[in-house]
Amino acid sequence: MESISGLTADTIGATLSQVIPLLIGVSIGIVVLEVSLYYFLTRVIKTKHALAYTLLSPAVVALVLFLIYPLIFNVILAFSDLKRNTFVCYSPVARGRECELDHLYGLDYAINNFTQVFFRVRDGEIQRDADGNLVWGRLLRTADSTFPVLFGRTVVWTGVNVIFHFLGGLALALIMNQKIRFRGIYRSLIVIPWAIPTVIVGLTWRQEFHADYGFVNQVLTSLGMTKVNWLSEELPAFIAVIFVNVWLGIPFYMVMLLGGLQSIPAEYYEASQMDGANAWQRFKAITIPLLRPILIPAITLDVIWTFNQLNVVYLVTRGGPSEKTNILVSALYNAAFGESATQELGFAAAFSIVIFLILFVFAVVWITTSGGLKEVYDR
């Protein structure tokens, strides 16, 4: 039977026979939930907000199932020794059989998992060098894949990306805010990178950075420059993934900042011109202060997204060469699910909590010190 990309009619039919009943069951469940909840709120609770609560109920259920429950489960997992060779101990079928664990969850497991994120642990003891200093743990295969190295690289990765996202997005927003011909077409074209799925973007740019056949090296050679082994050398590979992520992130800033620019009354600029202010003075005294309520949350979101940007790193370089382009989140993925990983899921859960706490502390400090919530507090 003919197939399309490896999919046959039998495969498609079998998949649909499993998916369609599931979708029907979910739809019926949502209807039953809303009708029952509306009846309960109107007849028992007798609240005037019954309809609003009823319409919000599917979103609340989805939030609990897909956000709150996974977060709680991840914390519980960090208190376990779940990995490939201890999987059987967590199986309800094998629960009564002998396994190598005395207990499934415990504080000792959590201490061991969180310690391994930072230091080298063997037989439950933190290792020290000949001078008695604590030894940084190796999160991946190479000797320098320690937490300080990966954290430093992640900070550089995040900082460079956010700076270029902001500068590029602001420049495009200022240009698109002018009265130019075909402005709508230009805006649509600029948003395209943001609209394309990241998987397609990553795989496409990986081919474009090919040393022999890629578009980037073709451009360099046409300009009389030598070819660069983008994906085989440490610095070029890191530059390549940064370029791809910058290309992806600039449209987000342009859309956000363009909306902010269009909300600034033109009278402010006209009054400043009458007072003799030049373009830079108007930009510094009017544009930037009035864009702050948009900039603070935009930068916060961008830092979090970029810090956790696994897709670009994994799809473009796979963390190579020799794991030199790995950041914390890609190291987490490779440590838990990579080719040489032992699937230490308890350790991976602890690792993810460490990353979450880093971003949480950043968000709290950044928002409070930058005055991003000042307008909210003043009300």
Lookup result for tokens 């409070």: 368
How much of the chain exceeds pLDDT 70, in percent? 88
Mean pLDDT computed over 83-110: 76
What lies within 8 Å, CB to CB, of 271 at 6+ separation is none
> Which structural domain, as residue segments, surrounds residue 202?
147-378
Stated pTM of the model: 0.83
How far apart (Å, rounded) are the C-alpha atoms in residues 341 and 85?
12
Q: Are residues 173 and 29 in the same domain?
A: no
* 148: its two tokens: 């300080």
Which residue among 76, 93, 117 closes a domain? Answer: 76
How far apart (Å, rounded) are the C-alpha atoms in residues 350 and 346?
6
Mean pLDDT computed over 1-24: 73
Question: What does each C-alpha distance from 282 to 21, 170, 266, 268, 287 come to in angstroms?
Answer: 60, 15, 11, 9, 7
- DSSP reduced 3-state for 119: strand
Count CB-CB contacts under 10 A for residue 141.
14
Whether residue 287 is contained in a domain is answered as: yes
Predicted confidence (pLDDT) at residue 363 exceeds the cutoff of 70: yes
Instruction: Please check whether residue 262 is in contact with residue 177, taking contact to mean a CB–CB distance below 8 angstroms.
Output: yes
What lies within 8 Å, CB to CB, of 101 at 6+ separation is 81, 86, 89
pLDDT value for 102: 75
Predicted confidence (pLDDT) at residue 95 exceeds the cutoff of 70: no
Whether residue 134 is contained in a domain is answered as: no
pLDDT in tens, 234-253: 999 999 999 999 999 999 89
Q: Are residues 231 and 356 in the same domain?
A: yes
* 27: its two tokens: 């739809």
Predicted confidence (pLDDT) at residue 1 exceeds the cutoff of 60: no
Predicted confidence (pLDDT) at residue 155 exceeds the cutoff of 80: yes
Q: Are residues 34 and 117 in the same domain?
A: no
At 162, which CATH number?
Answer: 1.10.3720.10
Q: Tally the domains of the chain.
A: 3
Q: Are residues 304 and 171 in the same domain?
A: yes
pLDDT value for 163: 95
pLDDT value for 358: 94
Q: Are residues 284 and 203 in the same domain?
A: yes
